[in-house]
């Protein structure tokens, strides 16, 4: 019996499964951590309303993003990853069962991403209909199972094993042939990489004053940062502006405004990820001589990380209690955090050896 599990490291971020998975691949590689610290400073937030489908979304993620169905994304831009997109019809044409394709791909060293029906999750109780991109990184023929990872039960990023039969069913329940419903293969490759502190400094400056220059990637995908038409509304925020987007969503709760997603704490989890990575990056840069040590700054970065976690937990508390006073206190905390974040980022810029 054959079995193979591709390596995944651990980084400690939680908000978005695509980002988490990319980081786990990179953390299993010799130079991957260095590349992570040289990027993922800028944030991008969006307020989106699809009027045809009556759907709203307000979210913050790292920029460039790693979101599965947006291209180009960080998988396309990462020098440690080769990405291949296959239509579902191609996979069905070569393999009678999806798990057979998975075994073949894993044996060739490819991580796999595809939309699956999530009926196998404990919190789905066997019900069909919820579809989400899921990552596959191993298989075990003896146990007749595959190793997968995603934001599973109650939105928590985790690893899981499901049977071949569950995988085949989950894949067959996805309809449509659009590329985002296809199958993506990721090949990891070792590569020499030089950390560039000057690039970090530029990103920090852009975090404080976004859009001073032309961001070609964003302008290619979203030439107008604000669109309000009959079909949809889309408004884009960058860097420290993302605090304003989160504050606006908090204000919408107080005003019973349904144009913002309710009970969605992903953006606050993203802020936790951002502050965690800022602290880890500064420690890395000091350790390798790319930035001067400043005990006060290190303490400020630690404080921001702790306060972002408190903010996240306050919002989760609100989703349980519906206590609007919690939201009012959370808005005050986020406004204070924004000012502390701006001050800490300015100090870090002055300490970067570039």
Domain range summary for the chain, segments of one domain joined by +: 3-30+81-188, 238-351
Three-state DSSP state, 55: strand
Q: What is the DSSP code (8-state) at residue 324?
A: H
Closest CA to 17 of 148, 106, 140: 148
- Kindly report the average pLDDT of the chain as a whole number: 92
d(CA 108, CA 352): 41
Lowest pLDDT segment from 224-228, 266-270, 307-311, 338-342: 224-228
Q: What SS3 class is residue 239?
A: helix
pLDDT of residue 213: 60
Helix (H) and strand (E) counts in the chain = 12, 11
Q: Is the pLDDT of residue 153 over 70?
A: yes
Pair 32, 48: CB distance under 8 Å: no
- Residue 170's nearest CA partner among 186, 188, 148 is 148
Q: Please report, rounded to a whole number, the percentage of residues in the chain having pLDDT higher than 90.
A: 74
Residue-wise pLDDT for 293-334, tens only, equals 999 999 999 999 999 999 999 999 999 999 999 999 999 999
pLDDT in tens, 98-107: 999 999 999 9
Residue 119, helix vs strand vs coil? coil
**Quick one: DSSP state of residue 352?**
B
Q: What pTM did the predictor assign? A: 0.93
Q: What is the pLDDT of residue 224?
A: 76
Average pLDDT over residues 9-25: 93
Local structure of 58: helix, strand or coil: strand
Residue 72: phi and psi, rounded to 5, are -75, 150
Can you give the pLDDT at residue 24?
Answer: 96
Is the pLDDT at 286 greater than 80? The verdict is: yes
| 214-179-118-187 Cα dihedral, nearest 10 degrees | -80
What does the pLDDT look like over 186-229, one tens digit per residue? 999 999 999 999 999 999 999 999 866 667 677 777 777 778 88
| Residue 253 structure tokens | 């709760």
pLDDT in tens, 68-122: 777 788 999 999 999 999 988 889 889 999 999 999 999 999 999 999 999 999 9
pLDDT > 70: percent of the chain: 96
Work out the average pLDDT over 249-272: 90
- What does DSSP assign to residue 70? S
- Per-residue model confidence (pLDDT) at position 149: 96
DSSP state of 336: H
For the chain, how big is the Rg over CA atoms in Å? 21
Longest dimension (CA), the chain: 61
CB atoms within 10 A of CB 228: 10
Residue 217, token pair as written in the block: 């990637």
- The SS3 call for residue 125 is coil
Alpha helices in the chain (DSSP H): 17-27, 32-37, 74-77, 88-94, 98-107, 164-172, 197-208, 216-221, 242-254, 266-287, 295-321, 324-351
Q: What is the pLDDT of residue 212?
A: 65
What's the pLDDT at 351?
97
Q: What's the CATH number of domain 3-30+81-188, 1.10.1740, 3.90.180, 3.90.70, 1.20.1250?
A: 3.90.70
CA atoms within 13 A on the CB side of 323: 11
Cα dihedral sign, 72-34-241-14:
positive
- The helix/strand/coil state of 124 is helix
What angle do the packed helices 266-287 and 324-351 form, to 10 degrees?
A: 20
The whole-number pLDDT of residue 280 equals 97
- Scan for tokens 């939105």, then name that residue: 155
Angle at which helix 324-351 crosses helix 242-254, to 10 degrees, equals: 170
Burial (Cβ within 10 Å: 0-12, 13-18, ≥19) of residue 312? buried
157-190 tens-digit pLDDT? 899 999 999 999 999 999 876 656 789 999 999 9
């Amino acid at each position: 019996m054959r079995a193979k599990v591709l390596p995944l490291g651990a980084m400690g971020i939680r908000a978005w499964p695509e980002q988490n998975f990319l980081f786990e691949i990179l953390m299993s590689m010799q130079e991957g951590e260095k590349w992570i610290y040289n990027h993922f400073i800028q944030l991008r937030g969006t307020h989106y309303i699809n009027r045809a489908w009556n759907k709203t979304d307000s979210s913050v993620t790292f920029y460039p993003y790693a979101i599965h169905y947006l291209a180009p994304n960080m998988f396309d831009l990462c020098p440690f990853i080769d990405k291949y997109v296959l239509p579902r019809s191609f996979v069905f044409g070569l393999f009678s069962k999806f798990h057979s394709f998975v075994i073949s791909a894993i044996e060739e060293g490819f991580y796999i991403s595809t939309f699956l029906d999530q009926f196998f999750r404990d919190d789905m109780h066997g019900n069909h209909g919820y579809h989400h991109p899921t990552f596959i990184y191993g298989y075990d023929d003896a146990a007749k199972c595959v190793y997968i990872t995603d934001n599973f039960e109650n939105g928590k990023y985790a690893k899981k094993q499901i049977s071949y039969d569950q995988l085949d069913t989950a894949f067959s329940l996805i309809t449509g042939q659009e590329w985002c419903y296809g199958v993506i293969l990721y090949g990891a490759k070792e590569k020499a990489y030089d950390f560039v502190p000057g690039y970090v400094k530029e990103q920090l400056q852009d975090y404080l004053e976004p859009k001073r220059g032309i961001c070609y990637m964003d302008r290619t995908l979203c030439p107008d940062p604000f669109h309000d038409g009959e079909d949809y509304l889309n408004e884009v925020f960058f860097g420290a502006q993302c605090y304003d987007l989160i504050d606006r969503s908090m204000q919408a709760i107080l005003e019973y405004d349904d144009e913002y997603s309710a009970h969605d704490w992903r953006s606050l989890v993203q802020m936790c990820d951002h502050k965690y990575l800022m602290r880890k990056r500064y420690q890395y840069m000091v350790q390798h001589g790319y930035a001067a040590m400043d005990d006060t700054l290190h303490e400020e970065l630690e404080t921001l990380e702790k306060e972002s976690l408190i903010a996240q937990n306050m919002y989760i508390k609100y989703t349980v209690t519906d206590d609007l006073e919690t939201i009012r206190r959370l808005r005050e905390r986020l406004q204070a955090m924004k000012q502390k974040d701006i001050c800490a980022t300015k100090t870090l810029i002055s300490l970067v050896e570039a």
